[in-house]
Amino acid sequence: MAKQTRDAEFTEYVASRSGWLRKVAYLLCGDWHRADDLVQETITKLYVHWAKASRAQNVDGYARRTLVNTFLAEQRTSWWRRTVRTGTDPDIAAASIDLDVSLDLRKALAALPPRQRATVVLRYYCDLSIDQAAEALNCSSGNVKSQSSRALDTLRRSLVPVPALAERTS
C-alpha cells in the first residue's frame, strides 16, 4: 500500500509540474526536443529518489536542482562535445508578441556558456535569490554574482541593436 501511495504522489507531482520543468529545461538548452529529454531524465531521477525528494522542504527546488545538475552533467559528456549543432533557430512553442526580440533573446541565451545560462535561468526566470541559486548550483554566492554579471554583460552586448544601413551612410 505504501508503494501505491508513493507512486500516486509522484504521479500527481509530475502531472502538475512537468510543463514548468519543460520550460526551465528549454531555457537551459534552447531546444524543445532536448528539453524533453532533460525533463525525462530528471523525472526518472526524481522517481528513484522520491522518498527523499518528497520529504524536502521545497520539492520544486529539489526538482529544479536535479534538472540543472542533469543539464550541466550532460554538458560535460563527450557526447555533447561531439554533437554538431546546426545553425537553425530553435523550435518555437507558441507565437509571441514580438517574435524577433524573442528569437534574438533565445539565440543570445543559447550562446552563453552552460553555467552562465543556468545562473540566468535560475535568477531571472525562476526568480531565485542569489543564495537560492548558489544552493541550486552547488556553488558560492559570489560565484552566482560573477556568473550573473558576466552573463548579463554578454547578453547586453549581443542584444545591442545594429544601426540601419541608411543611418550609417548619413
List of domains in the chain: 1-83 (1.10.1740.10), 98-160 (1.10.10.10)
Task: Count CB-CB contacts under 10 A for residue 72.
Answer: 16
Smallest Cα–Cα separation from 118: which of 64, 56, 51, 166?
A: 64
Phi, psi of 13 (to 5 degrees): -60, -50
pLDDT of residue 95: 45
The per-residue pLDDT of the chain, averaged, comes to 83
Instruction: Mention every residue, 6+ apart, whose C-beta is less than 8 A from residue 143.
Output: 134, 137
Report the share of the chain in percent with pLDDT over 90. 58
Q: How far are the Cα atoms of 62, 96, 98, 118, 137 from residue 101, in angstroms, in the given order? A: 32, 9, 6, 21, 28
In tens, the pLDDT along 152-169 reads 999 888 887 766 555 555
Residue with cell 554583460: 153
In tens, the pLDDT along 55-98 reads 999 999 999 999 999 999 988 876 655 555 555 555 544 444 55
pLDDT of residue 85: 55
In this predicted structure, which of 16-20, 47-51, 71-75, 103-107 has the lowest mean pLDDT? 103-107
pLDDT of residue 84: 52
pLDDT of residue 3: 83
DSSP 76-136: TSHHHHHPPPPSPPPP-SS--SSHHHHHHHHHHHHHS-HHHHHHHIIIIIS---HHHHHHH
pLDDT of residue 131: 93
pLDDT of residue 16: 96
